[in-house]
C-alpha cells in the first residue's frame, strides 16, 4: 500500500471543481446557448405557421394576416389545426425518439473526451436541419422532408444535448452553494434568446415570409458550432480517449440509480427525476400547442401577436430568475420551487378558458415565476451525487428531457385535436392538474428531510443529557 502513495499527488494537485471555477469560464458557455436558443426560438413558431399555410393551401383554406375573426373560420380552420397538429406529432416523435438514445450516448462520453465535442456536434446537426427546411421552402418539397431534417438533428443529439452539456459545463465550474442561482442564470439566458427570437421572428415573417428568417436559423446554429470550436474553453481537465459506440455509457446512467450506497440519496434522486419529468413534460407539451391554440378560433392571432405571445412565455425565464434571487433571501429553495409551480398552474388554468387576447396575455403574465422550479431541481439533483458522478447525472437528466419531449409531443399533440369539439383549452387544464404531482413530491421530500433532521437533533440532545 505504501507504493500507491507516490502516484496520487498529480490528481490531488488539480483543484476541485468548486475551486477551479473562475467566473470567466461560466460566462464562456452562455453565448453558445444563446445562439442555439435563438435558432430554436425562431424555428419552432415559423415551422408551425409554414405547415399551417402549406397544408391549408392544399385544403383550399387560406389564413388572413389579420387578428380579427374575418381571417379565421371555424370549419376549414379546425381541419387545418388537426392536420398541422398531427404533422407536428410525427416530426417531434421522429426527432425526439432518435435523440433520446443519442443524448444518453454522447453525455457520458463527454466525461472522458470533454464537453466541447458534444457541443459542436448538435450545433452542426441543427444547422443541417435548418438547411433541409430551407430546401423544402425553396423547392416546395413535400412537408414530410421536415421529418428527415428532424431525425438528422436528433442523431447528433439536437438541442437537448446542447442544453445538457451546458448545464454539465456549469456543474464543472461552479461551487455547490451557488449552483442553484448559476443554473437559474443559465436558464435565464434561454429566456432572453427565446424572447428576442420570438418577437423578431413574428415581425420578420409578416414582412418577408419564411425564407429569410430561416436563413438566420441556419446562421445561428452554424455560429454556435464555430463558437464551440474556436472560442469555448474545455471544462473537463483530465480528458482521455474513449470509445463512443459502447454500452458502458448507458450503464453509467443505469448505475446512477441502482448503486446500493446511500440509498436515501438514490430514492430522492428518483423522486426528483420524476418531478422534473412531469414539470418539463407539461412545459414542452403546452408550448407545442401555444401557436395552434392562438391561430385557431376564437383568438385567430396573426404572426405578430404569435411572436408577442412566444416572447411573453420566454419572459418567464427572466422574471423567474429575479423572483428566485429575491425569494432565496427568505425561503428555502424547495418552497421557491413550490411557488413556481403555483404560478405555472394558475397561468395554465387561465389559458384554458382564454377566449380573448387580453385574457390570453393574462395567462402568460401569471406564468411569471413558472420557471423557478427547474433550476432548483437541477441543483438538488447535482448535490445528491458525488463529483465523479456528475457526468452520468447530467446524461440521465438529458435522457429525462428527451423522454419528456417524446411523451409531451405524443400526449399533447394527440390530446389537442381530440378535445377541440368540447374544450379547446383542455390540454392546458390537463397540464395544470399534472403539475399537482411534482408539487406534492417536492413538498413531501422537504417535510421528510425536516423530520429526519429533527429526529437526529432530538437523539443528539438526549445523548448529551444522558452523558
- Distances from the Cα of 29 to the Cαs of 37, 117, 189, in angstroms? 13, 13, 10
The neighbour count for residue 447, using CB atoms within 10 Å, is 11
* 456 belongs to a structural domain: no
Question: pLDDT, tens digit, for every residue of 243-284?
Answer: 788 787 778 777 777 775 555 677 888 899 999 999 999 998
Question: pLDDT, tens digit, for every residue of 278-320?
Answer: 999 999 899 888 888 888 888 888 878 888 888 888 888 889 9
d(CA 307, CA 300): 13
Q: How many CA atoms are closer than 13 Å to the CA of 394, on its beta-carbon side? A: 28
Alpha helices in 114-208 (DSSP H): 116-139, 145-155, 158-172, 179-208
d(CA 377, CA 365): 23
Do 399 and 102 touch, CB atoms closer than 8 A? no
d(CA 66, CA 300): 8
Q: What's the longest Cα–Cα distance across the chain? A: 88
- 3-state DSSP assignment of residue 244: coil
d(CA 327, CA 150): 39
| Position 7 pLDDT exceeds 60 | no
- 3-state DSSP assignment of residue 21: coil
* 343 belongs to a structural domain: yes
Q: How many structural domains compose the chain?
A: 1
Q: How many CA atoms are closer than 13 Å to the CA of 397, on its beta-carbon side? A: 29
b/e map 22-47, b = 16+ CB within 10 Å: eeebbebbbbbbbbbbbbbbbbbbbb
C-alpha cell, 416: 389537442
Q: Kindly report whether the peptide bond that precedes residue 159 is cis, defined as omega within 30 degrees of 0.
A: no
d(CA 166, CA 177): 19
The predicted model scores a pTM of: 0.76
Question: pLDDT, tens digit, for every residue of 335-346?
Answer: 999 999 999 999
Question: pLDDT, tens digit, for every residue of 178-227?
Answer: 788 888 888 888 888 888 887 788 778 888 888 999 999 999 999 999 99
d(CA 442, CA 337): 8
Q: What is the pLDDT of residue 97?
A: 80
Q: What is the pLDDT of residue 15?
A: 39
* 438 belongs to a structural domain: yes
* 112 belongs to a structural domain: yes
* 388 belongs to a structural domain: yes
Give the relative orientation of helices 179-208 and 158-172 as an angle to the nearest 10 degrees.
Answer: 150
* 183 belongs to a structural domain: yes
Q: How far apart are the first and last CA of the chain?
A: 40
Do 446 and 339 touch, CB atoms closer than 8 A? no
Q: Residue 72: which domain range?
A: 27-236+263-451
User: Please, is 144 exposed, middle or buried when counting C-beta atoms within 10 Å of its C-beta (0-12, 13-18, 19+)?
Assistant: exposed
Alpha helices in 209-355 (DSSP H): 211-230, 248-258, 263-295, 303-327, 333-352
| Position 65 pLDDT exceeds 50 | no
Please indicate whether residue 62 or residue 138 has the higher confidence score (pLDDT): 138
Specify the residue for cell string 456536434.
Answer: 121
Q: What is the pLDDT of residue 17?
A: 42
Average pLDDT of the residues in 31-48? 90
Query: Percent of the chain scored above 90 by pLDDT?
Result: 33
| Position 47 pLDDT exceeds 50 | yes
* 459 belongs to a structural domain: no
Phi first, then psi, for residue 170 (nearest 5°) are -65, -40
Q: What is the pLDDT of residue 9?
A: 40
Q: Specify whether the backbone of 202 is left (phi greater than 0), alpha (psi in -120 to 50) or beta.
A: alpha
* 318 belongs to a structural domain: yes
Query: Percent of the chain scored above 70 by pLDDT?
Result: 85
Mean pLDDT taken over the chain: 82
Q: Residue 156 is part of a domain; what is its CATH number?
A: 1.20.1250.20
Question: pLDDT, tens digit, for every residue of 385-438?
Answer: 776 677 678 878 877 877 887 788 789 988 988 888 889 899 999 999 999 999
Residue 11's pLDDT band (boundaries 50, 70, 90)? very low
| Position 132 pLDDT exceeds 90 | yes
d(CA 384, CA 338): 20
Amino acid at each position: 500500500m505504501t507504493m500507491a502513495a507516490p502516484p496520487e499527488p498529480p490528481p490531488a494537485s488539480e483543484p476541485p471543481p468548486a475551486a477551479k471555477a473562475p467566473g470567466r469560464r461560466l460566462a464562456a458557455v452562455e453565448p453558445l446557448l444563446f445562439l442555439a436558443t435563438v435558432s430554436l426560438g425562431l424555428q419552432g413558431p415559423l415551422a408551425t405557421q409554414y405547415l399551417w399555410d402549406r397544408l391549408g393551401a392544399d385544403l383550399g383554406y387560406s389564413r388572413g394576416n389579420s387578428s380579427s375573426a374575418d381571417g379565421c373560420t371555424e370549419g376549414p380552420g379546425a381541419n387545418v389545426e388537426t392536420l398541422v397538429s398531427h404533422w407536428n406529432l410525427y416530426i417531434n416523435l421522429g426527432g425526439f425518439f432518435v435523440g433520446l438514445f443519442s443524448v444518453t450516448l454522447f453525455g457520458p462520453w463527454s466525461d472522458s473526451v470533454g464537453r466541447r465535442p458534444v457541443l459542436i456536434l448538435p450545433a452542426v446537426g441543427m444547422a443541417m436541419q435548418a438547411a433541409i427546411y430551407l430546401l423544402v421552402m425553396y423547392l416546395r418539397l413535400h412537408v414530410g422532408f421536415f421529418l428527415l431534417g428532424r431525425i438528422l438533428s436528433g442523431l447528433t443529439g439536437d438541442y437537448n444535448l446542447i442544453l445538457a452539456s451546458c448545464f454539465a459545463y456549469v456543474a464543472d465550474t461552479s461551487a455547490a452553494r451557488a449552483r442553484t442561482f448559476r443554473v437559474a442564470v443559465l436558464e435565464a439566458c434561454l429566456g432572453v434568446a427565446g424572447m428576442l427570437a420570438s418577437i423578431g421572428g413574428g415581425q420578420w415573417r409578416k414582412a418577408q415570409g419564411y425564407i429569410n428568417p430561416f436563413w438566420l436559423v441556419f446562421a445561428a446554429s452554424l455560429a454556435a458550432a464555430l463558437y464551440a470550436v474556436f472560442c469555448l474553453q474545455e471544462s473537463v481537465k483530465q480528458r482521455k480517449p474513449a470509445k463512443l459506440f459502447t454500452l458502458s455509457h448507458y450503464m453509467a446512467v443505469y448505475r446512477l440509480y441502482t448503486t446500493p450506497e446511500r440509498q436515501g440519496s438514490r430514492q430522492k434522486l428518483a423522486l426528483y427525476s420524476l418531478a422534473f419529468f412531469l414539470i418539463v413534460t407539461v412545459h414542452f407539451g403546452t408550448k407545442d400547442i401555444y401557436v395552434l391554440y392562438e391561430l385557431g378560433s376564437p383568438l385567430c392571432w396573426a404572426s405578430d401577436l404569435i411572436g408577442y405571445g412566444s416572447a411573453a412565455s420566454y419572459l418567464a425565464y427572466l422574471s423567474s430568475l429575479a423572483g428566485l434571487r429575491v425569494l432565496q433571501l427568505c425561503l428555502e429553495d424547495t418552497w421557491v420551487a413550490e411557488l413556481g409551480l403555483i404560478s405555472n398552474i394558475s397561468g395554465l388554468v387561465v389559458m384554458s378558458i382564454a377566449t380573448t387576447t387580453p385574457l390570453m396575455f393574462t395567462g402568460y403574465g401569471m406564468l411569471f415565476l413558472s420557471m423557478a422550479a427547474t433550476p432548483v431541481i437541477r441543483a438538488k439533483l447535482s448535490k445528491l451525487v458525488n463529483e465523479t458522478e456528475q457526468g452520468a447525472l447530467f446524461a440521465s437528466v438529458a435522457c429525462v428531457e428527451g423522454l419528456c419531449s417524446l411523451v409531451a409531443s405524443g400526449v399533447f399533440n394527440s390530446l389537442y385535436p381530440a378535445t377541440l369539439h368540447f374544450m379547446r383549452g383542455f390540454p392546458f387544464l390537463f397540464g395544470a392538474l399534472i403539475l399537482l404531482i411534482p408539487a406534492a413530491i417536492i413538498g413531501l421530500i422537504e417535510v421528510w428531510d425536516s423530520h429526519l433532521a429533527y429526529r437526529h437533533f432530538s437523539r443528539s440532545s438526549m445523548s448529551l443529557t444522558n452523558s
